[in-house]
């Protein structure tokens, strides 16, 4: 049985840990509002960009002129762009994104496809390198970035476009976690290349507005397709930032609660041991007095 000094040291250690977890929870709660606002604000623009490109793609496909970023190539080589956090202590946030990418990679490899992985974030690389070390082509480190902006996403987007133009892959998919609430983050896979088609409900017999483009569709697509990839990467990074803070807030709250329960148990054990020692000393004193 541990001594009273050992129990006191344990209680002090858990109390110090609880202070850290409470502080991290408060920091995550303070950052969550800002990151959530940024993620929610980016959604309408990114969604509208996808819809515009899907309409343009449907229009240009009828004339048989399909740019490379819209498809038209094979699907033998797949690039998985896995976006995760740079830091841990956020529950299963990083593991859930890596799990979704791992399942997709194994499924594609089972079909005889070639898989390449571009990791955006240190934690995703740490998880995936154990099983897919040979497939990881690059790791993008964002630890030095304090506030995510379009410039950070554009650098990643240009890298993806350059790899596609060099013939390094045929299909590109983006993996991230979509923010829903503090306790719910949804791992998501979004196809970047080729651009996804319109949803089925918008294709099946529903009237669509006719658009006239100036300049023509080919010139617009040449400018918008690379920009769309950067926009979607930015949306993924902002969603990840909000999801990370929400997951960290929940994880630190659970850790603080567990630390509180551990302190109660250790304190009860300490009090019982102390009472037992006092009782033993009293018995020895009384026995000695009676012996005299």
Sign of torsion, CA 100 101 104 106? negative
Q: How many CB atoms lie within 10 A of CB 260?
A: 15
174 close to 81: Cβ distance less than 8 angstroms: yes
| Whole-number Å distance between alpha carbons of 6 and 58 | 72
Whether 83 is a known active-site residue: answer no
Catalytic-role residue among 7, 90, 118, 163: 90
Q: How far is CA 186 from the centre of its chain?
A: 9
Q: Which residues are catalytic?
A: 90
């Amino acid at each position: 049985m541990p001594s009273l000094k050992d129990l006191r040291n344990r209680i002090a250690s858990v109390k110090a840990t609880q202070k850290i977890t409470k502080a991290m929870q408060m920091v995550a709660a303070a950052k969550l509002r800002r990151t959530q606002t940024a993620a929610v604000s980016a959604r309408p623009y990114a969604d509208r960009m996808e819809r515009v490109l899907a309409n343009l793609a449907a229009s240009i496909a009828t004339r048989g002129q399909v740019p490379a970023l819209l498809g038209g190539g094979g699907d033998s080589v797949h690039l998985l762009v896995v976006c995760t956090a740079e830091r841990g202590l956020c529950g299963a946030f990083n593991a859930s994104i890596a799990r979704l990418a791992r399942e997709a990679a194994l499924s594609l490899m089972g079909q005889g496809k070639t898989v390449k992985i571009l990791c955006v974030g240190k934690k995703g690389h740490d998880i995936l390198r154990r099983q897919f070390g040979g497939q990881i082509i690059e790791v993008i480190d964002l630890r030095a970035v304090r506030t995510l902006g379009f410039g950070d996403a554009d650098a990643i987007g240009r890298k993806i476009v350059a790899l596609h133009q060099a013939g390094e892959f045929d299909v590109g998919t983006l993996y991230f976690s979509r923010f829903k609430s503090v306790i719910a983050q949804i791992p998501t896979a979004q196809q970047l290349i080729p651009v996804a088609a319109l949803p089925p409900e918008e294709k099946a017999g529903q009237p669509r507005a006719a658009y006239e483009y100036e300049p023509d569709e080919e010139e617009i697509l040449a400018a918008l397709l690379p920009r769309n990839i950067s926009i979607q990467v930015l949306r993924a990074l902002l969603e990840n930032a909000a999801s990370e803070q929400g997951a960290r807030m929940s994880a630190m709250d659970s850790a603080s609660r567990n630390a509180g329960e551990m302190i109660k148990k250790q304190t009860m054990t300490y009090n019982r041991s102390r009472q037992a020692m006092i009782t033993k000393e009293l018995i020895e004193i009384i026995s000695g007095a009676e012996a005299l």
